[in-house]
Structure 1
């Protein structure tokens, strides 16, 4: 008798991934929020970065190294962290669009392009963390192999012979999905499988398209 093929890593119990790549992404979001003009921030400039920083420190202290703990409290803190970051990003996007549409003085073309690029990057990083946090129940649940049905279908899942047996999605994979989705305004090599994933990708594309189109048009007008 031939032995059955072993399950791929993404479908069985494996060691958890490390949180530091997501930590770098959150630091980048906090830094971008801090350096945005005051008119594009919700409340005092320090409020959202402070809350996000505290929540991030709590998560790292509670589960350092490789992610192993899967408690409801830590899960709520993790989702709360990205929710706060999302509120800050959404507010900045809305205020930038308002300024452009109403003809508010957004500064020189270079300043506007710099602000637009910062918000565009915040959008990519925010959705990358969301995708990472929600796919198959989150990073710890994925490591435990609890849910065999992915929210995102990565190429190695459909062509396992073309990938190493120990391959499983990491944060960089979700960052790539978020970046290409915001750049192409549609899925590229990774397909959304659930309604939640489709909704998230559609929302990210809409934000990216509106931001890029309005910022570029306004900048070209300012140069003219």
Structure 2
């Protein structure tokens, strides 16, 4: 049986990566100390790692609320940085193309990783609900993966892992729309719409202007 879904550490590592990326945001577009958001994120991540450092073994309802609060904070911080970057872009002081390119790249990468964790957390009630060994009632699917629509040998018991959700986030940020995996529920459609909007603004508006400045 595929047990990838029971691992906690890939999602934790992804969150740490997001916090590090936010520390690298150029000071030109940050109106508050860069350590504030990563510090808040680290405080929320700490109990999650403490309770389930490597695998999802202890299932407590409050842990999921902490996880959702952490993910909301990451997306909010990224949206704030994007808004500040757009403001900086229109302020007339944006004469450093490298700063704009670096900022856009960091915001785009953060967008991918943060929403990858979001999809991992919400699909079918979360990783605990998807794990058959926990005996929880699995909710309806939020995402329709290609492996769920075909009858191929060796794939009948397939369960998506974190890498699969990260790939969904990557393709959504690249194509600005769903690709091979379709959103089924309203909550995931909203998440994907927000992610695509952030990616579109970052790539099509900010990065395009940055190239002209170079």
The aligned counterpart of 1:221 is 212
RMSD of aligned residue pairs (Cα, Å):
2.1
C-alpha change, 1:148 and 1:89, in structure 2 (3 Å) is: same
Gaps of 5+ in 1: 1-8
The aligned counterpart of 1:76 is 65
Q: Please point out which of 147, 156, 161 is paired with 1:156.
A: 147
The aligned counterpart of 1:134 is 122
How many residue pairs align between the two structures? 211
The aligned counterpart of 1:177 is 168
Q: Deviations over 1:122-162 (max 9, x none)?
A: 11111111111111111111114622520000011101315
TM-aligned CA deviation for residue 111 of structure 1: 2.4
CA distance in 1 between partners of 2:162 and 2:150 (Å)? 20
CA distance in 2 between partners of 1:42 and 1:55 (Å)? 23
Structure whose CA Rg is larger: 1
TM-score by length of 2: 0.89
Q: Deviations over 1:23-54 (max 9, x none)?
A: 12111111111111235346322221112112
Q: Please point out which of 70, 83, 108 is paired with 1:120.
A: 108
Answer with 60-69 or 17-26: which moved more.
60-69
Is 2:207 the counterpart of 1:210?
no
CA distance in 1 between partners of 2:126 and 2:20 (Å)? 25
Do the aligned residues in 2 keep the contact of 1:70 with 1:141 (CA within 8 Å)?
no
Q: Please point out which of 12, 37, 47 is paired with 1:23.
A: 12
Q: Deviations over 1:157-212 (max 9, x none)?
A: 10131553442011111100000011011111000011111111111111111111
Gaps of 5+ in 2: none
CA distance in 2 between partners of 1:210 and 1:29 (Å)? 19
The aligned counterpart of 1:43 is 32
TM-score by length of 1: 0.86
The aligned counterpart of 1:65 is 54
CA distance in 2 between partners of 1:40 and 1:95 (Å)? 6
Do the aligned residues in 2 keep the contact of 1:124 with 1:179 (CA within 8 Å)?
yes
Which secondary structure state, in structure 1, belongs to the residue aligned with residue 208 of structure 2?
Answer: helix
